Structure 1
């Protein structure tokens, strides 16, 4: 089973790119972030014509998350992160897919930091950590994946000294990510590639992709029952070079049944 995460940066604007990638790679499960479309504007008919089922939670102009499945039926568990009923931002959706619980997330950016946006980011991240701990306690196979907007370590960013005060790289942000790992989650890409330079995002400006001045901010976390089923992982870096593409590249893993 191939499971992927992809921040599409506007699903309707990037629909040709998404459809091409789905056709070429044929992932079994896909988590999408930054749909930037209200619920009724999600292109469900085109997605179904491409062979995928979908559940989604949209939001006008901002955010939005979705889970697509090929030849599988996603059973929605929740479409909001627990812990703050007043939070109206569409950043989390969770489903049962076959024997696996899939949590698709789009963590807040948090800039400028410090400030209210950074406070919201940390509060949201702590809510995620609480929910992640509860998921682990079920002993079920669980995967949390998406755009975490977290640069975990210095090797996950080009020229780390330039990012010290950025919300993605501040110590407070990295500490919560480390807290997730200490709970028992496994960073799938680092499990397969413990020391390699891997990026998943390249800014549109200053020829960042051409210079490979990137960040690794899209992550796949596995609960203990899934770690031994992990056989491969990677980044579809070539997608970032396509015309009218997202500034993120798809990240994927493969699990044995």
Structure 2
């Protein structure tokens, strides 16, 4: 079962760069897209609704700031939008498709600009709430795959220039500690289960792929799926945005059985 996660920097721009043409070749069961920068209503072309998928969106109607979408070949039993964090659901977006024993989520976490203390405080509060949520759902009788742009690089291996980024939101000590605690609680960074290379980056903040790369795009899975990870790659042959698509294959059925 293949899952692709992609932070688009605007889905229309990514489409113009050939993202949907590339997607046709991937045979993915799920596609999780973050940072749409438009509402579903703005997507009038059939290009954005491939016939082999059921498409679901959680966006800011009339807004251009964010938005997430999930495409799934199988019809889900339920779709959940938001995490119940009140107004945080407008800053960080989340949509989840539920199946018999499996839930696939698509997350766009809040971002904090350097020097903006208010944004950093809001981001920290969001991740505190998210941690509580993820700890609670560990006890459910299902597995979870949460794909997204987390706006955090976890370890030094995930950052091209650690000195440059050590005091910048996205690689702060407290943010890295949050990810440490998530892994210690039993969740798994699927990509790192099969790839330990230190030059695997998924985001280039300035758009220059020769410098300052970071890996902030993850597929985080519940511990029951730890040994189901078959393959993982960051697709870099073509540039659809400042982020590279994350491609992961799992040895499980889409229903989770």
Give 3-state SS (helix, strand or coil) of 1:125's partner: helix
Q: How does 1:62-141 map to 2 (within 5 A)?
A: 62-70=65-73, 72-84=74-86, 87-89=89-91, 91-97=93-99, 99-113=101-115, 115-141=117-143
CA contact (8 A) 1:199 1:216 kept: yes
Give 3-state SS (helix, strand or coil) of 1:239's partner: coil
Q: How does 1:1-257 map to 2 (within 5 A)?
A: 1-16=1-16, 17-43=18-44, 45-59=46-60, 60-70=63-73, 72-84=74-86, 87-89=89-91, 91-97=93-99, 99-113=101-115, 115-205=117-207, 208-209=208-209, 211=210, 213-240=212-239, 245-257=240-252
- Taking the aligned partners of 1:222 and 1:142, their CA distance within structure 2 comes to 6
1:197 offset after TM fit, Å? 2.4
| TM-score (normalised: structure 2) | 0.89
CA contact (8 A) 1:2 1:27 kept: yes
Give 3-state SS (helix, strand or coil) of 2:138's partner: helix
Give 3-state SS (helix, strand or coil) of 2:12's partner: coil
1:204 offset after TM fit, Å? 4.2
**Runs of 5+ consecutive residues of structure 1 not aligned to the other structure:** none
1:136 offset after TM fit, Å? 1.1
CA contact (8 A) 1:142 1:222 kept: yes
Root mean square deviation of aligned Cα:
1.9
Give 3-state SS (helix, strand or coil) of 1:152's partner: coil
CA contact (8 A) 1:21 1:239 kept: no
CA contact (8 A) 1:42 1:58 kept: no
Moved more, 105-114 or 215-224: 105-114
CA contact (8 A) 1:4 1:30 kept: yes
CA contact (8 A) 1:239 1:250 kept: no
How many residues align structurally? Answer: 249
Moved more, 80-89 or 178-187: 80-89
| TM-score (normalised: structure 1) | 0.89
